[in-house]
Homo-oligomer: A and B are copies of this chain.
Amino acid sequence: MNQPVRPAQETASAPAHDRVYRALRTRIMHGEITPGAALTLRGIGGEFGVSMTPAREAVRRLAAEGALFLSSSGRVTTPELTNERIEELAALRALLEVELASRALPRAHMALIDRLQTINSNVAEMVSKRDAVGYIRTNLEFHRTLYLRAQAPAMLAMAETVWLQLGPTMRALYGRLRRTDPPQNHRLIIAALKAGDEPGLRLAVRSDVTQGLRLLAG
């Protein structure tokens, strides 16, 4: 009963714990789980058709990245962030992403800028449709596409870890946000890239990254 039957080819022949990890990770990062929601190992295992063991490994991995919170008794929930924590994570985003953008700037040629503009129109569409999850997903795609050009994998990984920690909270925040104006800061980022304007780029990225929390402090 080790492998239920293995019909022909499974999803991708990736290890079970990795499939579970990736599925949960994107769910959390995209804000598909509300802050404070509880998960159970048996529940996860049941949902993905695996036993507790891979579910546990996936959960441990996510907890190590700060994407999940483990109570002292081992109960696993998605974290509920305090305001100070949110501000700190926003400061981290600013620190890391300004540096990533700055490093990407000299390598940003026209094809990249075109791609960013395409993604940005998708972002605008999600905003107009009030699709919070879609907005978060395309917004992160915009940033990741730019930062990939920085050729700094460790730095990008850290930035993604921060996104992961903010995922559930971002959803909650944007859910209460009533705004349909397109992402102005993304336009500034693209303009600065075109102009090769590094100070402008740094400022635009910093504004884009920290604006989301402004409605929190207000």
A50 at the interface (CB under 8 A from B): no
A38 at the interface (CB under 8 A from B): no
User: Which of B53, B56, B155 makes the CB contact (< 8 A) with A92?
Assistant: B155
Residues of B within 8 A of A154 (CB): 66, 85, 88-89, 92, 165
A120 CB to nearest B CB, Å: 27
Separation of A56 and B95 alpha carbons in the complex (Å) = 34
Encode contact with B along A126-141: 1 for CB under 8 Å, 0 otherwise: 0000000000000000
Residues of B within 8 A of A91 (CB): 99, 152, 155
Within 8 A of B (CB), among A19-56: 53, 56
A98 nearest in chain B by CB position: B95
This chain: copies in complex: 2
Separation of A65 and B15 alpha carbons in the complex (Å) = 20
Separation of A65 and B152 alpha carbons in the complex (Å) = 17
Encode contact with B along A114-131: 1 for CB under 8 Å, 0 otherwise: 000000000000000000
A81 CB to nearest B CB, Å: 9
Residues of B within 8 A of A56 (CB): 57
Residues of B within 8 A of A153 (CB): 85, 88
A65 nearest in chain B by CB position: B64
Separation of A88 and B155 alpha carbons in the complex (Å) = 7
Separation of A92 and B153 alpha carbons in the complex (Å) = 11
A172 at the interface (CB under 8 A from B): no
Taking A57-B57, A66-B157, A158-B161 as known contacts, 20 extra A-B pairs with beta carbons closer than 8 A to each other, sorted by chain A number, are A15-B74, A57-B60, A61-B61, A61-B64, A62-B64, A65-B65, A66-B154, A85-B153, A88-B152, A88-B153, A88-B154, A89-B154, A91-B99, A91-B152, A92-B154, A92-B158, A95-B96, A95-B99, A154-B165, A158-B158
